Amino acid sequence: MMMNWSDGYVADIDYPAAFFPEQGPDHLNIACILNGVEPLPSGRPFTYFELGAGMGLTANILAASHPRGRFFANDFNPAHVASARQLADEAQLENMTHLECSFADLAAGAVDLPPLDYITMYGVYSWITPANRASVVAFIRRYLKPGGIVYVNYNAMPGWSKILPLQRLLLDHANSYPAPRAQQLRQAHALAQQLAQAGAAYFDDNPQLEQSMASLAQDKAGYLAHEYLNSGWQPCYHADVAAELAQAKLDYIGPASLARAFGDKLSPQQQAVMEGVADARWRETVRDYLLNTSFREDVYVRGARRMSAARQAQWLAQLGLVLTAVPEAAPAGQGTADAAAAESEDVLAALAAGPRSFAELAPRQAGGLAAVARMATQLVAAGQATCFFLENARSDAAPAHRLNRAIAAQSTLSDHYQALAAPRLGGGLRSGLAQRLVYHCLAQAPAATPPEREAVCRQVAALLHAHLAVCVPGSAAEAALQALREGLPCTVAAILEHRLPIWRSLDML
């Protein structure tokens, strides 16, 4: 049953641990730079707070990758906080503090905190009650420094308008049948299926619900419960969120998606509509109507300062680009006919030899640093590369190595923490189970010993056998592990040949 301290928020089933690179200080500073707004100074000590941190994986990875930062993270669920603290302790992260408290406690100053440079929240703002949203704004108003950066995401309108009745159906059905959350979700999903199969007009008139129904059938119960079963759940309009955050003197500066800093793909007619809207706050809301936006990831600054093109170029010169995925060869006859594709292939070829600064890549682009920035964001959006600050190369990688070893060791028991810290990026990389098990084997071997593929494959196979031993027979998890084991020789070979060089280039191992 729901506990009183949860204030209508799901607290009796854990939210899955996840890493969200958009919350990283470096990512947010780069978003500011690309949107023409002065970022926070790089290379200096800073303070960072994550609201509603869940299992704390993002905060722990960021703390490990930024030894000069002082990190705080809160969650009101004691099981989440205990897990987050345990991982931080195993990695000896002295700059990481995990707190168990409510948003109201934080807003009231119940915890002794320093002024903050960054405040971030993922999956919080549109999932909590209006009173808690007011506490979040009050907390920001109380602690964020002038020039400080805030990241917030939320389910957005009008994109969620068709799904609102489905969420209400699931929530009301769950509240009517007290049971464990996973069972409530199965029962509510079964009811929704019955309605759809019975020809309910709501489902017939809204074919886009198929994706939501598929999610109910496939996604983890922990995610689904937190997504659909919070009583305070309410998708938001950008104009309303911006007005609420303006009470903390926050200015909206742009999307957290780096590629969107260069604009959305709008038709000429749509662009003409946008150009006719003078008010910035209303213009963003009109954009959401044009794109039917259902999820927003926004960056705000307390006292945004617009930069000149010359000042922006100074910041761009401090950035680099590095491969974070194995580049795929272009199909025969493609990649050279289109000028943009040819430039992209040229940049990827340069990155194959190692990280490159924007300045090093500029001679390959006709438009100099600005053109490199645009190309870089396209590669980031495609999942092929990541931008980083050049001075990260001087950061102490030891905390990240300790955290990665702790995560890899935990991965021998479960598939819980699906990411590794990458100090060169000032963040981390999402990493599959096979990658983390290979990392564990490499971390146990003497540093000077070259990895031997067959030996690593035998070790990983034994670890997978232990995973299979605790799987529910016939489950989807068992099938996935069996498939992984069958293809293990090729998978391990690919990780050692392609992923290991990336780990080394990012100071991950």
Reported as a single tens digit per residue, the pLDDT across 421-445 is: 999 999 999 999 999 999 999 999 8
- Complete DSSP assignment for 282-294: HHHHHHHHHHT--
Give the dihedral of Cα atoms 224, 226, 230, 236; nearest 10 deg. -90
Whether the pLDDT of residue 122 is over 90: the answer is yes
**Residue 473, φ and ψ in degrees, nearest 5:** -55, 135
Length reported for the chain: 509
CB atoms within 10 A of CB 87: 25
The answer to whether the CB of 90 falls within 8 A of the CB of 100 is no
Helices (H), 5-124: 25-34, 57-65, 78-90, 103-107
Q: What is the pLDDT of residues 443-471, one digit of tens each?
A: 998 876 788 999 999 999 999 999 999 88
Helices (H), 70-208: 78-90, 103-107, 130-143, 164-176, 181-197, 201-204
Whether the pLDDT of residue 14 is over 70: the answer is no
Q: What is the pLDDT of residues 367-415, one digit of tens each?
A: 889 999 999 999 999 999 999 999 999 999 999 999 999 999 999 999 9
**β-sheet bridge partners, residue 47:** 70
pLDDT-based confidence at 337, cuts 50/70/90? very low
Give the pLDDT score at 328.
Answer: 62
Q: Beta strand pairing status for 356-357 and 319-323?
A: antiparallel
**Residue 421, φ and ψ in degrees, nearest 5:** -75, 145
Give the pLDDT score at 179.
Answer: 79
Give the pLDDT score at 230.
Answer: 79
pLDDT-based confidence at 499, cuts 50/70/90? very high
Give the pLDDT score at 43.
Answer: 85
Give the chain's mean pLDDT. 91
Q: What is the mean pLDDT of residues 287-299?
A: 96
Sheet with 144-155, edge to edge strand ranges: 96-99, 69-74, 46-51, 116-121, 144-155, 295-302, 250-255
Considering only residues 230 and 31, tell me which one the structure prediction assigns the higher pLDDT.
31
Kindly report which listed range (148-152, 162-166, 488-492) carries the lowest average pLDDT score: 162-166
Helix (H) or strand (E) holding 242: helix 238-246
With a pLDDT cut of 70, the percent of the chain lying above it is 94
Considering only residues 229 and 337, tell me which one the structure prediction assigns the higher pLDDT.
229
Q: pTM, whole model, 2 decimals?
A: 0.92
Kindly report which listed range (5-9, 409-413, 486-490) carries the lowest average pLDDT score: 5-9
Q: What is the mean pLDDT of residues 173-193?
A: 85
Give the pLDDT score at 50.
Answer: 98
Domain boundaries, the chain: 20-158+235-266+292-302, 164-228, 313-393, 397-505
Strands, E assignment, 265-373:
295-302, 319-323, 356-357
Domain 20-158+235-266+292-302: homologous superfamily in CATH? Vaccinia Virus protein VP39 (3.40.50.150)
Q: Which residue has the tokens 């690919």?
A: 494
Considering only residues 97 and 185, tell me which one the structure prediction assigns the higher pLDDT.
97
Q: What is the pLDDT of residues 22-46, one digit of tens each?
A: 999 999 999 999 999 999 998 899 9
pLDDT-based confidence at 327, cuts 50/70/90? low
Question: Which has the closest alpha carbon to 296: 265, 262, 256?
Answer: 256
Give the pLDDT score at 459.
Answer: 95
Whether the pLDDT of residue 4 is over 60: the answer is no
